[in-house]
Amino acid sequence: MLRLLLVVAMAAVTAKVYDDPAANQILLFKDKTSGPISIMTTSAGAPIEYKEATVTLNERLIFNEYFMDSMTHLVRERIPERLVHAKAGGAFGYFELTHDISDICKAKVFNGAGKKTPIAARFSPVVVERGGIDTSRDARGFALKFYTEEGNFDIVGFSTPMYVYKDPLLFPTFVRAQKRNPATNLIDPNMLWDFLTLRPESLHMFLLVFGDRGVPDGYRHMPGFGIHTFQVVNKHGDIHFIRFHFRPDAGIKNLRSREAMKLAASDPDYATRDLYRAIGNGDFPSWTASIQVLSEDDVKHAGFDVFDVTRVLPLDKYPLRPFGRFVLNKNPVNYFAEIEQLAFNPANLVPGILGGPDKVFEARRLAYRDAQYYRLGANFINIPVNCPFKNKAFAYNRDGQPPVKDNQKDIPNYYPNSFNGPAPYKEKGKVELVEVYQDQPDNYGQARELYENEMTPEERTRLVENILYSLGPATKFLQDRAVKMFARIHPDLSERIWQGLQVNRTSIPYYSSWDD
C-alpha cells in the first residue's frame, strides 16, 4: 500500500512538472526526439570519435580537436553585457491593427484594420546586472521591434510614462550614480541620492519607482510607454504628434516590498520564468495599444513642453485613442541568439514616423547604435533576430566582423554609381522633423499631482517607507537636501520622511514595517 501511494505521489509530482514548460524544457526536448539527433561534430563539421569526447588523460591535448574546439570557444562565450537593461525576458508574437490610423500616419504597419505584423519584445530592469534579480525596485525597459514591410520599427520604451532627465548630457551621470561605487564595488545610496537631489526633475519618475508601481508582478502585468512624443505624417503631408501607451489586458499588477524581497531569495528569475511558463502553456499575454494625439495647434497652445520626456501628457486633455493590440505567443528557442542579441535602436523608423524632436531621442539614436556596435559588431543587423525579414535590405555597407551573410554579393559598393546599384526613392512634399526649443525642466508640479491625486493614503505610506529604506543609509547632508526637495513636492511627504529619518533606524529594520 505504501509503495502504491509513493508511486501515485511521484506521478502527481511528474505531472505537475510537465505542466511547467519553464522548469521542464530539457525534458520536453527529450520527449520530442527519439535519440541523439546527430553524430557529434566539431564546429567545422568533422565527426568526433567517442574516445576524443570522453577522455584526455595520457593523450596529447593539442591533437584532440574536440578538446581544442570546445575549450577555446568556452573562454569566448560571453559578450559585453548591456550597461543598463542587462537582464531581460523576451518573446515573439504579432501586432494586430484594430483601428486604422492612416488619417494621421502613413506608415503601412498602422494602415488597414486587421493587419498583423510580427514583433519581438524585450522587458528588462534598468539597473541590475545580467545575473541579478527580476524583483528589484526599479523602472523597467519595455522594448518592441515591429518587423514591417517597410523595414524594422523599434519603440524603446519604459514601464513608466515618463523618463528621468530632460537633458541627455546627464545620461552617464545617471547610470554611474545607480551602479557600483568604483572603490567598494557596492551599490551606494549616497551616489543615487546625490543625483536625485541635484536633479529634482528625476523625482517625478522616482515617485513611481519608490511607490507601488516600482516592482511589477511579472512582465505580463506590466504596462509600457513610448515616453517620447513622436512626430508622424500622413500621405497628405499633415503633421501630428503621438505618445504610445501599452496596457496589459490581464491587468496591471505589482508586488509589495516584502513579497518582492522573498521572491528575490527564492526565485530571482521570477518575471522571466512567469513569462516563459505562460507562453509555453498557451496563456498568451497581450497588451492593448493606444496613442495620445496632438495637432500642431495643440503643441503650440499646450502651455508646456509636450516633448519633455520627464512629463506626462494629461489624459483628460489628450485622451487615449486605441489602435491595436499585440500578443506574445512564441518563446525563444535559444535565449542568447534571440533575446541577448536582440538589438533595439530608436533610429529604426519607417516612412510616416519621424521620431521625437527632443534631445533625449536624438542622443538615444547615437547611444543605442553605438552600444550594439560595441556588443555585437558592425554587422549586428545581419543577426537573424535583427534582420528586417519582411523586406530585403539593400545597404552599401560591406565587410567587417561577421555575420556578413552574402555581403550584398556583386552589387556595387559605393553610391552614387553608374552601374545600377540601389538608388534612393524620391518623396513628394517630404516632411522634416520639427525643431523645438526646450527650456529647463521643472516638474515639481507633476510630482505634486501624482502624490496628491493619484496615490491613495495607503500608497503614500508605502511610498514613504520605500524612500526611507533607500534614503536611510545615505549621509545626513543628502538626507537634509532630500527633505527640502520633497517639501517642494508636498509638505506632507517631506514631513513624513523627516519624521522617519529621526527614528534613526538602520537599513535592515526598514523591512520590518513593510506590508506582508
Tens of pLDDT, residue by residue over 196-215, are 999 999 999 999 999 999 99
Inform me whether the pLDDT recorded for 425 exceeds 90: no
Characterize 221-235 residue by residue with b for buried, 16 or more Cβ atoms within 10 angstroms of its Cβ, and e for exposed.
bbbbbbbbbbbbbbe
Identify whether 257 is part of a domain: yes
Burial class (CB in 10 A: 0-12, 13-18, 19+), 461: middle
Share of the chain above pLDDT 90, in %: 77
Q: C-alpha angle 456/458/464, rounded to 5°?
A: 105
Lowest mean pLDDT among 7-11, 66-70, 359-363, 378-382: 7-11
Spatial CA neighbour of 479 closest among 489, 490, 467? 467
In which band, very low, low, confident or very high, does the pLDDT at 5 lie, cut at 50, 70 and 90? Answer: low
- Clarify whether residues 47 and 189 are in a common domain: no
Higher pLDDT, 442 or 315: 315
Is the confidence at residue 10, as pLDDT, over 80?
Answer: no
Task: Determine, yes or no, domain membership for 396.
Answer: no
Mean pLDDT of all residues in 157-169? 97
Does residue 354 fall inside a structural domain?
Answer: yes
**Per-residue confidence (pLDDT) for residue 443, from 0 to 100:** 78
pLDDT grade for 516, boundaries at 50, 70 and 90:
very low
Note whether residue 485 is domain-resident.
Answer: no
CA distance 59 to 188: 51
Residue 399 in any domain: the answer is no
Q: Is the pLDDT of residue 429 over 90?
A: no
Residues 226 and 171 in one domain: yes
Kindly state the average pLDDT of the residues 219-234: 98
Residue showing cell 526526439:
33
Look at residue 196 in the predicted model and tell me its pLDDT.
96
Question: pLDDT tens, 79-134?
Answer: 999 999 999 999 999 999 999 999 999 999 999 999 999 999 999 999 999 999 99
Q: Given a cut of 50, is residue 416 above it in pLDDT? A: yes
Contacts of 393 (CB under 8 A, 6+ apart): 151, 381, 387
In a domain, 502, yes or no: no
User: Based on the domain organization, do 69 and 102 belong to the same domain?
Assistant: no
Q: Is residue 140 located within the same domain as residue 289?
A: yes
Asked if 254 and 216 count as a contact pair (C-beta separation under 8 A), the reply is: yes
* The pLDDT value given to residue 305: 96
Mean pLDDT, range 157-172, rounded to an integer: 96
Res 18: pLDDT: 60
Q: Decide if 145 contacts 119 (C-beta within 8 A).
A: yes
CATH label of the domain that carries residue 191: 2.40.180.10
Mean per-residue pLDDT, 348-353: 96
Confidence (pLDDT) at 378: 92
Long-range pairs of 382-386 with CB within 8 A, sequence gap ≥ 24: 383/337, 383/341, 383/343, 384/337, 385/120, 385/337, 385/338, 385/341, 385/342, 386/152, 386/341, 386/342, 386/343
Q: What is the pLDDT of residue 3?
A: 58
**Calpha distance 508→473 (Å, rounded):** 10
Residue 509 has pLDDT above 80, yes or no: no
Q: pLDDT at residue 351 above 60?
A: yes
- Give me Rg for the CA atoms of the chain: 26
Q: What is the pLDDT of residue 369?
A: 94
| Cα–Cα dist 241/176, whole Å | 33
**Domain's final residue, options 337, 363, 386:** 386
The count of domains in the chain is 3
Which of 341, 361, 386 terminates a domain? The answer is 386
Q: Do 43 and 97 share a domain, yes or no? A: no
At residue 286, does pLDDT exceed 70?
Answer: yes
Q: Give the domain range for residue 16.
A: 1-37
Over the stretch 27-46, which tens digit does the pLDDT of each residue have? 988 898 888 988 889 888 88
User: Confidence band (pLDDT; 50, 70, 90) for 514?
Assistant: very low
Residue 156 in this model has a pLDDT that exceeds 80: yes
| Dist CA 25 CA 279 (whole Å) | 13
Could you give the angle at the alpha carbon of 503 between the alpha carbons of 497 and 505, nearest 5°?
A: 100
Nearest residue to 441 via CA among 246, 327, 289, 310: 310
Residue 478: the pLDDT is 96
Cα gap 312→290, rounded to integer Å:
15
Amino acid in position 262: K
Q: Give the annotated binding-site residues for heme.
A: 368
Contacts of 243 (CB under 8 A, 6+ apart): 161, 225, 226, 227, 228, 229, 230, 291, 292, 313, 318
**Partners of residue 254 on adjacent β-strands:** 216
Q: Are residues 228 and 129 in the same domain?
A: yes
* Contact predicate 243/298, CB 8 Å: no
Is residue 492 domain-resident? Answer: no
**Residues 31 and 54 reside in one and the same domain:** no
Same domain flag for 248 and 272: yes
Gap between the Cα atoms of 51 and 61, Å rounded: 12
Tell me the whole-structure pTM to 2 decimals: 0.91
- 216 forms beta bridges with 254
- pLDDT at position 436: 93
Asked if 333 and 239 sit in the same domain, the reply is: yes
Identify whether residues 60 and 31 lie together within a single domain.
no
Residue 510: predicted pLDDT: 39
Asked whether the predicted pLDDT for residue 508 surpasses 60, the reply is: no
In a domain, 423, yes or no: no
Q: What is the mean pLDDT of residues 7-27?
A: 67
Cα 386 → chain centroid: 16
At which of 363, 386, 409 does a domain end?
A: 386
Same domain, 26 and 51: no
Cis peptide before 416 (omega within 30 of 0): yes
Residue given cell 534598468 in the structure block: 126
DSSP 345-362: -TT---TTEEE--SHHHH
Return binding residues: 368
pLDDT of 9 higher than 80: no
CA atoms within 13 A on the CB side of 233: 20
The helix (H) or strand (E) run that includes residue 118 is strand 116-125
Instruction: Examine the domain organization and report whether 149 and 26 are in the same domain.
Output: no
